Amino acid sequence: MALPAEWRTRLRLPLIAAPMLHVSGPALVAAACRAGVIGAFPAANCRRHGELAAWIAEIRRTIGDTPDAAPFAVNLIVRSATLADDLACVVREKVELVITSVGSPAALVGPLHDAGCRVWADVATLAHAEKALAAGVDGLVLLCAGAGGQTGWVSPFAGVRSLRALFDGPLVVAGGLSDGHALWAAQALGADLGYMGTRFIATTESLASDAHRRMLVDAGWDDIVSSSAFTGLPVNWLRASLVEAGLDPGALDAGSLRADAAELYGTRDTRRPRRWTELFSAGHSVAGVQGVQPVAALVDELARQYDAARQRGLGLAPAGPSRFPG
Ligand SMILES: Cc1cc2nc3c(=O)[nH]c(=O)nc-3n(C[C@H](O)[C@H](O)[C@H](O)COP(=O)(O)O)c2cc1C
């Protein structure tokens, strides 16, 4: 187990509630930390000047009454236009964990380490992982096939095993983790933590719209469509949201759509559905969503499943609940 020793007692499950655009806000993050899993949000969700510092303060205030609440992470999207300001803020605030995505973390590692922040990088290929490690990151999040949001393509079986041969530090596996059984399997495979995004969209604390949450409840993994048309990178979308927007899920990547993605689907052009807020993303793990519930109830459910899987995996008769093994 390659996690920082002081985090072990703060985690009920080896889990991160993954950062999600337009979904993860202070209420979701604080509820995750209080329930004993690492909460995370993208700095990009903070739209106004000063909002990032305000969110960090709000999360700290909310979890302040919970001794040993799990740590929280800020996700910095390297290609974001506000990266410099966001970086300065997390450095000033000495956030415990920063997770970088979409771009090389190389320029961020020095200032974040100087401030005492741990830096984990989201990677989708072996080459990305090698570059991130060469840049000095402390941990890796391996984006695998079936993930919500921008998806990876590698099977977690092959991906985790090859990264484990390369690196013995904190390793998180992302994509397709639909329940506590999958979380146990991620650890059995050699990951330290699992990342779950889609499961946390369907919580009462998420910022997602009711329409997005309802669609998750109704969908299975056959209802997930992968396309680069809306961002230029492969993202998994809920088929029903594409159909409701009048698009043909079978003909998305044709022609010039990809090159024009930001202009067509990232602006307030009312003739086009907006990506993320009108076109909804989810991963294969949508298969585990049966309803919308508070984060604490979701974590209880995951813990029950994790315990059952662990006991079965260890060949034990069912027993009382346990913290995850160190
Ligand atoms: C709606 C949505 C928005 C997302 N936004 C981000 C983001 O801003 N930054 C990021 O690093 N990952 C983002 N992700 C990816 C998640 O952090 C995570 O990798 C993914 O949800 C894991 O797969 P799962 O949904 O099957 O659990 C997003 C995922 C979803 C579903």
Q: Output the domain CATH number for residue 161.
A: 3.20.20.70
Asked if residue 107 is part of any domain, the answer here is yes
Please check whether residues 150 and 253 belong to one and the same domain.
Answer: no
pLDDT surpassing 90 at residue 283: yes
Q: What is the pLDDT of residue 269?
A: 61
In a domain, 322, yes or no: no
Q: 57 and 175 share a domain?
A: yes
152 pLDDT exceeds 90?
yes
| Structural domain harbouring 83 | 5-206+289-313
Q: Per-residue pLDDT tens for 212-254?
A: 999 999 999 999 999 988 888 899 999 999 999 888 888 876 5
Could you tell me if 195 and 226 lie in one domain? no
214 part of a folded domain: no
Largest interatomic CA distance in the chain: 58
Which residue ranges have their beta carbon within 6 Å of ligand 1? 18-21, 23, 42, 44, 75, 77, 101, 122, 143, 147-149, 174-177, 195-198, 281-283, 285
Asked if 55 and 48 count as a contact pair (C-beta separation under 8 A), the reply is no
| 10 is a domain residue | yes
Closest ligand 1 atom number to CA of residue 18:
17
CA torsion, ordered 258, 262, 266, 269, to nearest 10 deg = -90
One domain for residues 142 and 270: no
What value does the mean pLDDT take over residues 2-19?
A: 93
Q: Indicate the pLDDT class of residue 110, thresholds 50, 70 and 90.
A: very high
Amino acid 224 reads: I
Atom of ligand 1 nearest to the CA of 286: 26
For residue 258, is pLDDT > 60? Answer: no
**Does 256 reside within a domain?**
yes
Answer yes or no: do 163 and 247 share one domain: no
pLDDT at 315: 67
Query: Positive or negative, the Cα torsion across 152, 153, 159, 160?
Result: positive
Q: Are residues 229 and 170 in the same domain?
A: no
Q: What is the mean pLDDT of the chain?
A: 92
Whole-number Å distance, alpha carbon 283 to ligand 1 midpoint, is 8
For residue 213, being part of any structural domain is answered with no
In the structure, what pLDDT confidence band is assigned to residue 262 with cuts at 50, 70 and 90?
low
Q: Is residue 127 located within the same domain as residue 106?
A: yes
Query: Do 249 and 113 share a structural domain?
Result: no
Nearest to 174 by CA among 247, 138, 124: 124
Q: How confident is the model at residue 314 (pLDDT cuts 50, 70, 90)?
A: confident
**Mean pLDDT of the region 274-298:** 94
Within this chain, do residues 273 and 295 fall inside the same structural domain, yes or no? no
Q: Is the pLDDT of residue 144 over 80?
A: yes
Tens digit of each residue's pLDDT (9 = 90 or more) over 77-88? 999 989 999 999
- End-to-end Cα separation, the chain, in angstroms: 6
Report if residue 268 sits inside a domain.
yes
Residues 160 and 196 in one domain: yes
List Cβ neighbours of 34 (8 Å cut-off, separation of 6 or more): 62, 63, 66, 69, 70, 296
Whole-model pTM? 0.93
Q: Let me know whether 129 and 248 are in one domain.
A: no
**280 has pLDDT over 80:** yes
- Residue 58: inside a domain, yes or no? yes
pLDDT at 316: 65
Q: How many domains does the chain have?
A: 2
Same domain, 304 and 227: no
Q: What's the pLDDT at 251? A: 82
